[in-house]
């Protein structure tokens, strides 16, 4: 004769089902929407974590994952940006005054800190949090781009500013290219330099890009290439 199921067991089973459904419904985070299928590196050629990355993750890895998950950004992408920005040095200061792990400019840091109730922007964890928020905001600024293009445009904007990338998109569109393609924007960034002033007069009523001339495009192009290189490596080495 079949025994009746224990009532407590039934309740627990139902709870598990509902939790599973909730996870499926809520797991579509920004990180999932903004990520892309990175190139799969053959297992025998995947490099090991370098000493700098390993030391950083030993001390700050948990905090990095927590804050990245909170704001819906792939923590491996944040790690790649962090590596390029400060080489994991919490006391790093650039010649322009950018500070900390994520090299936040003072004006940007103060603005974000006031919006998110952060008092000490020099604290390593708070600096990391501000950087993740800023990167998340950059990703959200390119809703028309998809997958890898969206990530690359956001990384470029993190480096040189959103309006600078927007200027390059405007040039790309004027030339009949795709403004939401990183390849197109990558080609357009050098055209923001002063030497292309005759072109600018056909695009902007003021006769020059909205953010002014841009002569440091090489730095931004290298920045994006390096960040995406390490993002791909971290994506293979540091599996979810």
Please report which confidence band the pLDDT of residue 9 belongs to, taking 50, 70 and 90 as the band edges: very low
Query: Does residue 95 sit within a domain?
Result: yes
Domain holding 110, by residue range, is: 50-140
What's the structural domain count of the chain? 1
Digit-coded pLDDT (tens) for 48-102: 788 899 999 999 999 999 999 999 999 999 999 999 999 999 988 888 878 888 9
What is the pTM for the complete model shown?
A: 0.80
* Residue 35, pLDDT above cutoff 60: no
Distance CA 195, CA 71 (A): 40
Q: How many residues does the structure list for the chain? A: 240
Q: Catalytic residue at 85?
A: yes
Digit-coded pLDDT (tens) for 110-131: 787 777 777 777 789 989 999 9
In the predicted model, what is the mean pLDDT of residues 162-187?
98
Query: Does residue 172 sit within a domain?
Result: no
* CATH assignment at residue 86: 1.10.530.10
* Residue 24, pLDDT above cutoff 80: no
Q: Cα-Cα-Cα-Cα dihedral of 124, 101, 147, 47, to 10°? A: -110
- Of all residues in the chain, the percent with pLDDT exceeding 90 is 61
Residue among 43, 59, 85, 99 flagged as catalytic: 85
* Residue 175, pLDDT above cutoff 50: yes
Query: Does residue 202 sit within a domain?
Result: no
């Amino acid at each position: 004769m079949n025994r009746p199921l224990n009532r407590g067991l039934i309740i627990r089973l139902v709870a598990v089902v509902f939790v599973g459904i909730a996870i499926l419904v809520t797991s579509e985070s920004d990180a999932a929407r903004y990520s892309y299928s990175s190139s799969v590196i053959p297992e025998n050629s995947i490099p090991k974590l370098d000493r700098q990355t390993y030391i950083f993750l030993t001390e700050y890895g948990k905090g990095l994952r927590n804050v990245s998950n909170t704001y819906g950004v792939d923590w491996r992408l944040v790690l790649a940006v962090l590596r390029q920005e400060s080489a994991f040095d919490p006391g790093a200061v650039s010649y322009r005054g950018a500070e900390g792990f994520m090299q936040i400019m003072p004006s940007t840091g103060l603005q974000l800190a006031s919006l998110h109730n952060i008092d000490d922007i020099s604290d390593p964890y708070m600096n990391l949090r501000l950087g993740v928020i800023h990167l998340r905001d950059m990703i959200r600024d390119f809703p028309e781009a998809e997958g890898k293009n969206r990530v690359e445009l956001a990384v470029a904007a993190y480096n040189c500013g959103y309006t600078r990338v927007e200027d390059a998109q405007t040039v790309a569109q004027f030339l009949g290219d795709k403004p939401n393609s990183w390849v197109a924007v990558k080609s357009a960034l050098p055209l923001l330099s002063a030497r292309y002033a005759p072109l600018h007069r056909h695009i902007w009523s003021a006769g020059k890009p909205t953010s002014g001339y841009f002569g440091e495009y090489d730095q931004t192009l290298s920045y994006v290439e390096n960040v995406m290189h390490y993002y791909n490596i971290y994506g293979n080495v540091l599996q979810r």
